[in-house]
Chain A
Amino acid sequence: MTLGYNTLVVLAGCALLGLAAGTVGAFALLRGRALVADAVGHAALPGVVLAALIVATLGHDPRDLPPLLAGAAIAGIAGVLSVQALARTRRIREDAAIAIVLSAFYAAGVALLSYVQTLPDAAQAGLTKFILGQAAAMRAEDAFWAAAVAMLALLLCLLLFQRLRAACFDPDFARVLGLRTARTDLALLGLIVTVTVAGLQAVGLVLIVALLVLPAATARLLTFRLPRLLLLSAMVGAVCGAAGAAASAIDPDLPTGAAVVLVGAACFTLALLFSPDRGLVAEALRSANRRLAMAQDHFLRAAWEAQEAAGAGPGTAGDRWTPIAAIAAARGWGEGRAWRLARWLALRDLVALSERQVHLTPRGAAAARRAVRAHRAVEHHLLALGAADTAGADRLADLVEHGLTPEVATRLLPEPSALPASPHALGGRP
């Protein structure tokens, strides 16, 4: 592979295309129009083939991009209009209408293509590339065309930013304001068609929808501010486009569309897993932390209450050692789990470990007292409200006591600073 002028132009063109697709795709996703791009892409095929056929019949070069794109746009718009007309009959829903139109137009395109290929003319040259995309086959002038169209869409998208945002979030309210949301929707549809058509040759009509959806979906996981979302989406789109073109230049047999989508899907998966805020890993960590904090509170409280049960009395934790087995029994835990928790708490200097027994350190006793107080505050509050019986109050308090600040606990307690007695007998639970 050589990084010739042509390759560089194609690379830049695909990056710009991705930039525009990412931006337009963000609004398409927010307006619930993601599948429209799929319909446009598939519906474009018969338009491309017919345009090539007409151009060749007229004696011009059938590989010239502008007529092909015009054909694609006309057929794509016809496809979208058919979807809307079908949905308006109220006989089928929009998703089914999209599926029907998309496949019918695509089938018509495939049939036309097979017919064109039987002609002696070279009209079919390069047409199959439109299906899966092949950036490596693009000429510099094709890349210029695609990039110019994409930039136009990007510019329009930024100009219409406020209108698109209003129409995407709450179209009814926008209409009451007097904004013409029907026109805004039409503009968005035009933008989707434009970007889709511009990307046909590079990405291919089967997978072009991914270039609109994946960057936007990735960005949504990373931010909740629309300007930042647009920027991120555009950047991911550019990376996808450039990576697809590069892969195609390295291995011309690899369909560009596949490379674009694989890069996009990788970005999305990474964001889904590792987004600091909405990522699955971060969420799993947060919930594991919460569970550990809960278990820790429960262990410390059991240790404290074991002292109370042994006669040390509330607030005066004696110097006794408590068998871990007793704590496990009080919580209904297996001994292994109680052991692991005891070791963890010993590491944090909240308990001292000896043989099979634990003892609260001063820090541990303070933490345990807070936990006990929070638990009983909730219990007494629920009982005073008559919201639960003793056992129910105990169970509910186990769930909600964590994260209760001492101030809130004080407000729930009838007598402010005291550590009240447990409303139920301490020790093992049934």
Chain B
Amino acid sequence: MTTAPPLEIRSLTVAYGDHPVLWDVTWVAPEGLTAIVGPNGAGKSTLIKAALGLIPALSGSAAFFGRPLDEVRNRVGYLPQRASVDWDFPATALDVVCMARYPRMAWWGRVPRAEREAARAALAEVGLEEFAERQIGRLSGGQQQRVFLARALAQDSDLYLMDEPFAAVDAATEQAIVAVLRRLTEAGRSVVAVHHDLSTVPDYFSNVLLLNGRAVAAGTVQQAFTPETIAAAYGGRLNLLEGASVAAGARA
């Protein structure tokens, strides 16, 4: 096995029009569970999308396991934001999860049985096996999020980039997702997730990147997730109450 880190970002700068969102971000994601946190507009999703080549970067590059993405696509999984697709689309939960297996199939004909079974197994892992044939528009928000998680699992990758996997989900779904993330790391996989709930960072993640246009702090949660670095990332936007809950969470 290679010793190269799952994700290494070098001098990444991204702008929308004239407005720079990411300024010269250099960061190495370690193995294990990593959270990217920062205020709204800090460029968290942009970082993931630019690393995956979904939006153009002005400068800089991203390497996965020490190589360009094109050489290791089969080792990189992606979970986009739930709101990024039309859930009224004519597809069942199983159809959506099967899409993760498309690179393994011929591009004509039906989905082979083995791939279908792999997709079913992924659905079972997130507790949705009995919803396989349900139209995706008739799932609850939390179930839709779990379909996306199942689709990422079906990619069977070594690194997963997840854009707000906990956004607007119910408590049961949140716990189910956390359990899946822990199983992934126990199996030696790595996860980098955009996260917005500061109070759960110490519980769910072992590493953190604090982002606000620039990389403010990075490292293990004990080292890098301190009231000082959080204040630096959030500036005046973090109110006192949130700060208190973060401090309490970090001590626990």
Q: Which A residues fall within an 8 A CB radius of B?
A: 30, 90, 158-163, 165-166, 168-170, 172-179, 220, 223-226, 229
Contacts and interface: CB of A to CB of B under 8 A. Distances in A.
Interface in B49-98: 49, 52-54, 70, 73, 76-78, 80, 84-86, 89-92, 95-96
A224 B99 contact: no
Interface of B: 17, 49, 52-54, 70, 73, 76-78, 80, 84-86, 89-92, 95-96, 99-100, 102-103, 105, 107-108, 111, 135, 137, 151, 155
B89 A178 contact: no
Given A177-B155, A224-B135, A161 B108 contact: yes
Per CB-CB distance, the 3 closest pairs between chain A and chain B, nearest first, are A176-B78, A224-B135, A178-B73
B96 A169 contact: yes
7 contacts: A160-B108, A165-B95, A172-B49, A175-B54, A177-B99, A224-B135, A225-B91
A162 B108 contact: yes
A220 B107 CA distance: 24
A159 B108 contact: yes
Contact of A226 (B53, B95, B108): B95
A170 B90 contact: no
Contacts of A225: 90-92
Nearest to B77: A176
A176 B108 contact: no
Contacts of A224: 90-92, 135, 137
Nearest to B135: A224
B121 to A, nearest CB: 18
Contact of B151 (A160, A172, A173, A175): A173
Nearest to A184: B107
Given A170-B99, A173-B151, 16 more contacts: A30-B89, A158-B108, A160-B107, A169-B86, A169-B89, A170-B80, A172-B49, A172-B54, A172-B84, A176-B78, A177-B103, A178-B70, A178-B103, A223-B90, A224-B91, A225-B91
A162 to B, nearest CB: 6
A193 B99 CA distance: 27
B89 A176 contact: no
Nearest to B96: A169
A220 B77 CA distance: 31
Contacts of A179: 102-103
B90 A229 contact: yes
Contact of B85 (A162, A169, A176, A220): A169
